[in-house]
């Protein structure tokens, strides 16, 4: 008797194929979670009125819990990871001259790219004029007091600068680590790494081995936290969209478009630099960094994805560890190209809203402040709004403007963080490109010395 072939389940086959497609591709899982979060947030949001406001608050609070746990785990391990990475990056480099050259080239590239990004932001805002689409009279009722009280003030007076400079040196490194003052942690780590280079290897080896183990443990903890990434993104995006609503997001559409266009231009410039400084194709470079950029987008923190940045630069792009482990933690603190562009657009946008005339000197001031204020800013979500307050105060724009852009700042923060992280990767490739001959000469000299000894 002929056996009847069982009917296949098209839905099951589709699910199996889809699961096979996304298995092992964290970036795709995060992207799917992002789309689902937006859709679910719209359903819960105030636009459709399907759920009461109190129920939405409770639901989104619990949905955001995995995201808060994810960010807490990452931020918990950032300080030891930064410290271990910088010390090992310095201690692994036995050529102080090459190390100084690496740092000098990196600083020049970061400052130049940050200034260019701020100028691009100003240029786009002046031509698109997003502030003309906002009615300034609607801002009268905005209470920006809570915002103003939480942001930093302008630059200190000239007489206060010496105390500010000396304050950068951590008098209590443990206190700096506990409070997350990343610039002080980096300075302490740099001093510790330089000291390791100055003592005999037999004496520095125990501490060196301890830091190697600390770095490996930190990376392992981060890999565990990454298992939560898709769930975390879903919950955080759902809460964002459900609380804001579509109307708030679309009301600032032109401003958001201007910032996103500027970030796209900066990203394209970074890809052009990567094409010139890397031996890989642009397609390979994009495939290598896409998961990293998506995770930076979802976490809004360049420090949070720093372990992935190190992995991408060293394992996929073949950046030398002595370069990546020194520049990636440094870049996470001072390389804020996307943030500088955002400041340029936001300042001109708010000047247009409040009819504040900006002179040429004002634009120069905006670029200078964007570059200077970015150095040492926290590599955590929301840092851009703190820096922006310094710029606004310097050009006389009302503080109510901060409250205006605060509603869409979270979305733009996610986008500019991706550009900041892309800048960290390209900084490493640029430094390696300009110092590659020096590394080859050092290797040849070492090989010749070994041959002579043998």
Q: Which CATH number fits domain 28-244+251-438: 1.10.3720.10, 3.40.50.1240, 1.10.3860.10, 3.90.1530.30?
A: 1.10.3860.10
CA angle 425, 427, 432 (to 5 degrees): 100
Lookup: tokens for 65 = 């819990």
> What are the tens digits of pLDDT across the range 311-356?
899 889 999 888 888 888 878 777 889 888 988 898 888 888 888 8
Per-residue pLDDT tens digits for 352-393: 888 888 878 778 888 887 776 665 555 555 556 656 766 776
Contact by Cβ (8 Å): 301, 54: no
Measured between alpha carbons, how far is 364 from 428 in angstroms, rounded to an integer?
28
* pTM assigned to the model: 0.69
Here the tokens at position 355 are: 């009819």
Q: Where are the domains of the chain?
A: 28-244+251-438
Mean pLDDT of the chain: 76
15-65 pLDDT, tens digit each: 454 455 445 566 677 778 878 888 888 888 877 778 888 888 888 889 888
Residue with tokens 């640029």: 430
Closest CA to 82 of 276, 246, 310, 250: 310
DSSP per-residue letters across 211-227: HHHHHHHHHHHHHHHGG
């Amino acid at each position: 008797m002929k056996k009847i072939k069982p009917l296949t389940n098209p839905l099951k086959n589709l699910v199996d194929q889809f699961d096979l497609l996304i298995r092992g591709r964290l970036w795709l899982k995060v992207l799917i979670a992002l789309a689902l979060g937006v859709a679910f947030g719209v359903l819960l949001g105030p636009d459709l009125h399907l759920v009461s406001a109190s129920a939405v608050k409770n639901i989104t609070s619990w949905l955001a819990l995995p995201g808060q746990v994810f960010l807490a785990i990452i931020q918990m391990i950032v300080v030891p990871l930064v410290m271990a990475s910088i010390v090992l990056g310095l201690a692994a480099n036995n050529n102080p001259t090459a190390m100084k050259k690496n740092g000098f080239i990196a600083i020049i590239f970061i400052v130049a790219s940050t200034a260019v990004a701020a100028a691009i932001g100003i240029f786009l805002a002046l031509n698109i004029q997003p502030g003309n689409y906002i009615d300034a009279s609607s801002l009268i009722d905005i209470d920006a007091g809570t915002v103003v009280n939480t942001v930093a003030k302008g630059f200190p007076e000239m007489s206060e600068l010496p105390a500010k400079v000396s304050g950068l040196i951590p008098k209590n490194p443990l206190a700096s680590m506990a409070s997350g003052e990343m610039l002080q942690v980096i300075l302490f780590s740099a001093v510790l790494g330089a000291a390791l280079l100055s003592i005999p290897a037999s004496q520095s080896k125990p501490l060196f081995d301890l830091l190697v183990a600390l770095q490996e443990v930190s990376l392992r903890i981060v890999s565990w936290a990454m298992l939560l990434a898709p769930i975390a993104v879903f919950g955080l995006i759902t809460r964002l969209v459900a609380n804001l609503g579509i109307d708030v997001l679309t009301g600032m559409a032109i401003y958001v478009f201007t910032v996103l266009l500027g970030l796209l231009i900066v990203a394209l410039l970074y890809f052009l630099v990567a094409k010139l400084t890397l031996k890989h194709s642009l397609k390979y470079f994009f495939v290598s960094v896409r998961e990293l950029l998506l995770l930076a987008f979802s976490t809004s923190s360049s420090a949070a994805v720093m372990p992935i940045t190190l992995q991408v630069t060293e394992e996929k792009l073949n950046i030398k560890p002595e370069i990546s482990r020194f520049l990636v933690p440094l870049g996470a603190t001072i390389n804020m190209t996307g943030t500088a562009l955002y400041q340029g657009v936001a300042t001109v946008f708010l000047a247009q809203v409040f009819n504040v005339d900006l002179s040429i000197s004002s634009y120069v001031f905006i670029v200078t402040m964007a570059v200077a204020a970015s150095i040492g800013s926290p590599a955590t979500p929301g840092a851009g709004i703190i820096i922006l307050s310094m710029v606004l105060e310097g050009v006389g724009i009302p503080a109510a403007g901060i409250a205006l852009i605060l509603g869409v700042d979270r979305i733009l923060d996610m986008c500019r963080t991706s550009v900041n992280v892309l800048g960290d990767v390209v900084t490493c490739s640029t430094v390696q490109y300009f110092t590659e001959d020096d590394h080859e000469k050092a290797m040849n000299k070492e090989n010749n010395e070994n041959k002579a000894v043998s």
